[in-house]
Amino acid sequence: MRNVSHLAIAALTLSVSLAGSAYAADPVKVGVTVTQSPPGSVVQGTQVKDGLEVAAKMLNDQGGVLGRPIELVVEDTQGLPEKARAAVEKLITRDKVVAIVGEHQSSNVLAGMEVAHRYHVPYINTNGWADAIREKGYPEVFNPNNYNRRVAMAAADSIKKLGAKKVVAFAENTDYGIGLAKGIAEQLKAVAPDISYRFDTLDRAAKDYLPAILPLRSDPPDVVVDIMLPPAAYIMMNQVYEQGVAPATKTWLYDASGLADYPDFWQNVKEAGKDMLVFGLYHPKMKAPELAKTIGDAYTKKTGAQPSRLLYQAADSLLVVADAIKRANSTEPDPLVKALEATKYTGTRGEITFSTESGYKYHQWLDIPYVTFQITEIGQKVADAPLVEQAGQPLDPSKLARP
Amino acid sequence: MSSLLSVEGVTKRFGGLVAVADVSFDIAPGELVGLIGPNGSGKTTLLNIMSGHLFADQGTIRLDGEPCTGFKPQRLARRGLMRMFQLTRIFPRMNVLDNLLVGGRALGLHVDEARERADALLEELQIAHVRHLDAGQLSGGQMKLLEFGCCFMRTPRLALLDEPFAAIHPTMKEIMSTFIRARHAEGQTFVLVSHDMPVIVELCPRSICMNAGRVLSDGKTSDVLAAPAVIEAYLGGAAA
Amino acid sequence: MSGDIRLRREFIATALLLVMLALLPLVQRDVYWLGVLVVSAYFAILASSWNLLAGFTGQFSLAPAAFAMIGAYGAALSATYYSVPPILGLIIGTGAAGLIGLVLGRIVMRLKGPYLALTTLSFAEIARLVASNSINITRGDLGLPIEGWFNDRVLWFYVFLGALAFVICGLYLLLRSKAGLFLEAIRDDEIAAARSGVRIVFWKTAAFAISSAAAGFAGALYAYFASLVTPELGLVQQTGLVVSMTVIGGMGSLIGPVVGAFLVYVTSEWLRDVGGWQLVIFAALVIVFARLFRTGLWGLVTAALQPRRGKPA
Amino acid sequence: MLTGALAADLAVNGLVTGLFYALMAVGLALIFGVLRIVNFAHGEFYMVGAYAYTIVAARLGVPLAVALPTAFLFGAALGWIVERTLMRPLYANIATWGLMRDEYAVIVTFGLSLLLVNLVDKAIGPYAFRAPALVSASRIVVGPALMSGQKVAAAGVTLVTLAFIALFLRFSYWGRAVRAVSQNRLGASLAGIDATAVSSLVFALAGGLAALAGALLSPIINASPDVGAFPAIKSYVIVVLGGMGSILGAFIASLLLGLVESFGAVLVSYQYRDTFGLVLLILFLLFRPQGLFGERGREV
């Protein structure tokens, strides 16, 4: 059973005096930690993995970096911090990778970046939203992706625009979930102190959230906020709908986790997804650089699936590393980290730069674009979902469709 | 009073059934008392009460005049009251020697002391040749001898033997009775439960006969066996 | 052969095994494999401590992993909230596990077989659920990170090996004393043991507490090694692994659990690269051994060493 | 904060959950009654059922009406094999064993659980499978409560199955044989009942029921190798509460546990809801080992 064998690698979650830096050998090895099996989100992991492979192929077709091909070494984390931490240790000590990319769960980033920091190996956080990751201030860690504070602001503004009085959030019991739930609380206090807001922490391994949901039946809130990832999020949504809580005429369902563009979204939810408001980091109607189309097409060709935010985040993570290696003309940690800090690279979602301000802004690409859209039909493609908030503009309630 | 163990008005009920009814008797140091009676007459129940495996509903048991009713078996054992069960109880996964050592060490003998004692017993009971076998591998008779020996690792004040001779080879029976005779000569006190009348007659100067939980007769073995009530009981028992 | 001769032989064999292990770093200094050996040692301690209960006292507990987890959290929590030094953390972790073990042992005193197994299993699950759901204190499944003690992997290897040796010696001294005699007697027949004057309550509870403390010690040590403590340490599957190792190595023998632990663990790491069917294989082995060779590998070895005296299998 | 509406909701949902528990627990109780052992691989029967249903229905596209019985048969076959190969020694003379009876039972069933979990993990993979729902309706009104159609359908099947089992045990020859053996194995075999065959039957039945439970819930829980662990633990609790070996006791205890968890999660603590049952188990084993209804005492 996995939980047992994982202990072995968990054993390696310790810094070691020997083998300080991963010294390079043909080809350039880049370590990847993604979720390939439960309880973590396999769907996320697969999207990220595909995205990285697409980007790697593109780079290698263009001759790789420093004339050497890029090789991805992939480790499964099951979405478990202990395994993520172990995986990073294994990648660095055993496979001697020059950088780590791909992690898509905050808790795993927090565990894995510790190791990377100890070995002083660059760590590109592909989809860890928790502000704590930035606040650690590790020079090796870079974040070309979304961060909780930004979602919190967006969510708070939207909730305010929706004119809600009572808001309940369901957050998964992870750094991401709890962090974002608290973040929204702070933002709401700032922008709309009169809104009553509370959040329940749900175990993402559980199958039955009714005990948390049933009490809402008697007095439903105006907005239910989802701060969970699949598959737990789907179960929660279905039960929230099944109990007639949301989406309902009285109650909006606001998704703060970007659920809608998961390929298995409609396999798992039906009516439960209709009329849902989605905080989106990607929407085909967003304007994007040329590279996005190239990568997107390659991805669709490879997987048959539509492009998604994770695809682009994954691709950018690797492209940023490649770009830094080229500029540094080396794969050694120190020059690499320097080069990364100086990044000014137009990836698939815009020009990526990393702030050096401390706090949640540290090594963060501050202005990643986002939108808000509403699912108006069961089985609707994201592309067809109407935008109710353009990137950089406030949410427009007139565009909303009441359930 | 000079009695080693005294049973005073002991009564034990199981639901409706009265297994032991107001039984009283004394056992003086150095006595060898036979406890007889037809099946279901309450002998074993009484023994269980005396050895602390059962608690009496009424009455008291005294050891050296001190009440010890409600004492746990291990506590009575430490007071020198040793019990041999009718259904053999030994430690099957331990070798014969260790089986004996348990008793000795538990009752505070030093290792070497216990060893010597055990060796002596093994010789005397003629099971020295299997000393290193696991007890579980012994024959039924050997097991009985082993349990018998366990009771004498530390000279008990009083040994309660429940059917030691049941269903074993005559030679082993002989070994035990010789042992008992010898110890009795040295002043060791016994209570011996048995259906084997000849052995009782041969070994026990005094006998107590029970029936239906009551003491029918208590006295010189020959007199007890001659008592009409006793004969009646046995015939009745046989008839039933 | 007499019990204590057998025990002495097992002890010498174990000592030799540990010495051989101690020489390993001369040939293998790869951090990865040193890590594997460290975890093997961790499991060897767990298996040995569990063997004291199941193998020698006949108390079939299903909570060893839980006690390791308790030990680990004892260390991690005291380090996080009171920033105690590692040595003290070790003592706290061990003590916590031992104390809880004492209480639980006293409670389940009278339970046997399936009843004991169920009670200890439930206790283990409760402990794990509490650890993973008390998010505000333990950070739940995310795990509680603590400062590693030191980083030198070779040093860690020797620390764990030393800990294992310490536990083995302790067990040896315990078992060769009259305690060993009494525990085995209790295992075989409680009533007969009582008849012989053995203090049942005292010895059974003591065995439970000691075994729990040893497991907690291993867990606390592991906490400082892995520097991340998660409720997964207490998973029932972890107990499953401990049981497997003991059964395969040989229950009721001093060396069996140690052999089992290193064998099962190192091989499974080694097989990892070729498909990772190792756990299937070992689970199957457990059943085969329980069904056919109840004295485990060590039993087979000793049987082979002296064919004329067929030991009970 | 417990309004009438909420109470009704909790009651209905608790009872339904209890029904599912019962499907698992009854089998475990049967096994304990006949063999006096706890099957620590019971959860894996459940897991196997979930996979059997998912694969047969989703992969092979077989109609659900066929897929459900298939799952049952799968579990039954597995149970039968297990009894034949691993449980037989339990009736053999065990005096000379290096391992005693109880230890053997625990180790073997425990090992079996590890084996099955890892076998499936390797052979099929760790991914969670989604099974097709019995009915598509995602919201149905059940008295005061709302429920997903899948849940209602599963509950229906469960009720029918349990009723059938009850009748079987009550009236059929083999049913009576099972009851006879669990009351007194020796006596029963003296009366000419084939105790060994009864043991096989009971294991097959238990395996089938657990597998059916897994199949019925797989659309909700998604089959994965370790999916059995949880329901297994619940059924241990239930079997103890109901009185080890008592079937009726197990059934009532199931409903009870369902209610306790449903109400406890809202009134006492959502976080610790899964510990309630376990605490009950320990308390019962210590203070009322014969359970709510059982007459048999703890083996001391």
Q: Number of structural domains, chain C?
A: 1
ipTM higher than threshold 0.85 = no
The parent domain of residue A271 ranges over 149-280+370-399
Whether residue A17 lies inside any domain: the answer is no
| B60 vs B10: CA distance, rounded Å | 6
The residue that leads in pLDDT, D33 or C76, is C76
| A224 vs A276: CA distance, rounded Å | 10
Of D40, D9, D33, nearest to D145 by C-alpha is D9
Q: How many residues does chain C have?
A: 313
Q: Which residue has the tokens 């049981």?
A: C243
Whether A34 and A114 map to the same domain: the answer is: yes
Whether A158 and A139 map to the same domain: the answer is: no
Whether A271 and A223 map to the same domain: the answer is: yes
Angle separating helix axes C64-82 and C113-133, nearest 10 degrees: 30
- Chains contacting A with at least 3 CB pairs below 8 Å? C, D
Searching chain C, which residue's CA lies closest to the CA of residue A87? C32
Mean pLDDT confidence for B128-144: 87
Which neighbouring-strand residues pair with B211?
B214
pLDDT of B41 above 90: no
Q: Which amino acid, C41?
A: A
Whether residue D283 lies inside any domain: the answer is yes
* Cβ-based contacts under 8 A for chains A and D: 71
A to B contact (≥3 Cβ pairs closer than 8 Å): no
Whether residue D109 lies inside any domain: the answer is yes
Domain of D174, CATH number, reads: 1.10.3470
pLDDT of the residue at C273: 63
Q: Cα dist. D208→A63, D28, D73 in Å? A: 59, 11, 6
| D10 vs D7: CA distance, rounded Å | 5
Residues in C touching D119 (Cβ below 8 Å): 280, 283
- Joined together, the tokens standing for residue D234 give 């619940």
**Cβ A19–C141 below 8 Å, yes or no?**
no
Percent of chain D scored above 90 by pLDDT?
40
Q: Cα dist. D69→B119, B198, C263, D202 in Å? A: 67, 69, 42, 18
| B80 vs D194: CA distance, rounded Å | 49
Whether A153 and A103 map to the same domain: the answer is: no
Q: Cα dist. C184→C103, C176, C207 in Å? A: 22, 11, 11
Whether residue D293 lies inside any domain: the answer is no
pLDDT of D24 above 50: yes
Confidence band for A174, pLDDT divided at 50, 70 and 90:
confident
| C206 vs D11: CA distance, rounded Å | 45
Searching chain B, which residue's CA lies closest to the CA of residue D97? B93
Domain of A227, CATH number, reads: 3.40.50.2300
pLDDT of the residue at D143: 79
Residues in B touching D95 (Cβ below 8 Å): 92, 136
Q: Number of structural domains, chain D?
A: 1
**C58 and chain B: CB distance < 8 Å anywhere?**
no
Whether residue A257 lies inside any domain: the answer is yes
A to D contact (≥3 Cβ pairs closer than 8 Å): yes
Of A294, A283, A336, nearest to A316 by C-alpha is A294
Cis amide linkage into residue C307, ω under 30° from 0: no
Searching chain A, which residue's CA lies closest to the CA of residue C134? A173
C29, C153, C224, C242: best mutation site toward chain A, by most A Cβ within 10 Å? C153
- Joined together, the tokens standing for residue D266 give 């809202």
* Cβ proximity of D32 and C117 under 8 Å: no
Residues in B touching C252 (Cβ below 8 Å): 93
- A223–chain C nearest CA distance, Å: 25
Confidence band for A23, pLDDT divided at 50, 70 and 90:
very low
Q: 3-state class of C198 per DSSP?
A: coil
pLDDT of the residue at C307: 56
The residue that leads in pLDDT, D186 or A149, is A149
Q: Which residue has the tokens 């970046």?
A: A113
pLDDT of A358 above 80: yes
Q: What is the pLDDT of residues D222-268, one digit of tens each?
A: 788 888 988 999 999 998 888 877 888 899 999 999 999 999 988 88
| A302 vs B33: CA distance, rounded Å | 96
- Chains contacting D with at least 3 CB pairs below 8 Å? A, B, C
**A191 and chain C: CB distance < 8 Å anywhere?**
no
**The 3-state secondary structure of chain D, one letter per residue:** CCCHHHHHHHHHHHHHHHHHHHHHHHHHHHHHHHHCCCCCCHHHHHHHHHHHHHHHHHHCCCCHHHHHHHHHHHHHHHHHHHHHHHHHHHCCCCCCCCCCHHHHHHHHHHHHHHHHHHHHHHHCCCCCECCCCCCCCCCEEECCEEECHHHHHHHHHHHHHHHHHHHHHHHCHHHHHHHHHHHCHHHHHHCCCCHHHHHHHHHHHHHHHHHHHHHHHHHHHCECHHHHHHHHHHHHHHHHHHCCCCHHHHHHHHHHHHHHHHHHHHHCCCCCHHHHHHHHHHHHHHHCCCCCCCCCCCCC
Whether A274 and A301 map to the same domain: the answer is: no
Whether residue D294 lies inside any domain: the answer is no
Whether residue D37 lies inside any domain: the answer is yes
The parent domain of residue C103 ranges over 2-235
Whether residue C171 lies inside any domain: the answer is yes
Whether A128 and A155 map to the same domain: the answer is: no
pLDDT of B238 above 50: no
Whether A376 and A238 map to the same domain: the answer is: yes
- Least confident piece of the model among A361-365, C270-274, D47-51: C270-274
Count of CB atoms situated within 10 Å of the CB of D186: 9
Residues in chain C with pLDDT < 50? Answer: 1, 309-313
Q: Number of structural domains, chain A?
A: 2
Q: Cα dist. D139→A250, A275, B154, D153 in Å? A: 18, 17, 78, 12
Whether A301 and A334 map to the same domain: the answer is: yes
Q: What is the pLDDT of residues B149-204, one digit of tens each?
A: 988 988 888 999 998 888 788 888 889 999 999 989 988 999 999 888 888 888 89
pLDDT of the residue at C3: 66
Torsions phi, psi for D147 (to 5 deg): -150, 150
Confidence band for B134, pLDDT divided at 50, 70 and 90:
confident
Question: Please, which residues have CB within 8 angstroms of residue A386's CB and are 6 or more apart in sequence?
Answer: A373, A374, A376, A399
Interface of C with D in 246-265 (CB under 8 A): 247, 251-252
The residue that leads in pLDDT, D295 or D55, is D55
pLDDT of A11 above 60: no
pLDDT of A25 above 60: no
| C252 vs A395: CA distance, rounded Å | 71
Mean pLDDT confidence for A12-22: 35
Whether A274 and A378 map to the same domain: the answer is: yes
pLDDT of the residue at D292: 78
Q: What is the pLDDT of residues A101-145, one digit of tens each?
A: 999 998 899 989 988 998 899 999 999 988 889 998 999 999 999
Confidence band for D300, pLDDT divided at 50, 70 and 90:
very low
Q: Is C147 left (phi over 0), alpha (psi -120 to 50) or beta?
A: beta
Whether residue C143 lies inside any domain: the answer is yes
**Cβ C291–D233 below 8 Å, yes or no?**
no
- Chains contacting B with at least 3 CB pairs below 8 Å? C, D
**Cβ B92–D95 below 8 Å, yes or no?**
yes
H or E segment to which residue A199 belongs: strand A196-202
Query: pTM of the predicted model, to two decimals?
Result: 0.83
Whether A327 and A377 map to the same domain: the answer is: no
For chain B, the DSSP string reads ---SEEEEEEEEEETTEEEEEEEEEEE-TT-EEEEE-STTSSHHHHHHHHTTSS--SEEEEEETTEE-TT--HHHHHHTTEEEE-SS----TTSBHHHHHHHHHHHTT--HHHHHHHHHHHHHHTT-GGGTTSBGGGS-HHHHHHHHHHHTTSS--SEEEEESTTTT--HHHHHHHHHHHHHHHHTT-EEEEE-S-HHHHHHH-SEEEEEETTEEEEEEEHHHHHH-HHHHHHHHHHHH-
- Least confident piece of the model among A30-34, A186-190, B71-75, C101-105: B71-75
D13, D17, D130, D146: best mutation site toward chain A, by most A Cβ within 10 Å? D146
Q: What is the pLDDT of residues A367-396, one digit of tens each?
A: 888 888 999 998 898 888 888 887 767 777
For C201-220, the DSSP string reads HHHHHHHHHHHHHHHHHHHH
Could you say which DSSP state residue C227 is in?
Answer: S
Mean pLDDT confidence for B103-120: 89
- Joined together, the tokens standing for residue D197 give 């065959």
Whether A391 and A251 map to the same domain: the answer is: yes
Whether A119 and A73 map to the same domain: the answer is: yes
Count of CB atoms situated within 10 Å of the CB of A63: 10
Interface of A with D in 343-402 (CB under 8 A): none
The residue that leads in pLDDT, B19 or C212, is C212
pLDDT of the residue at A16: 33
**D267 and chain A: CB distance < 8 Å anywhere?**
no
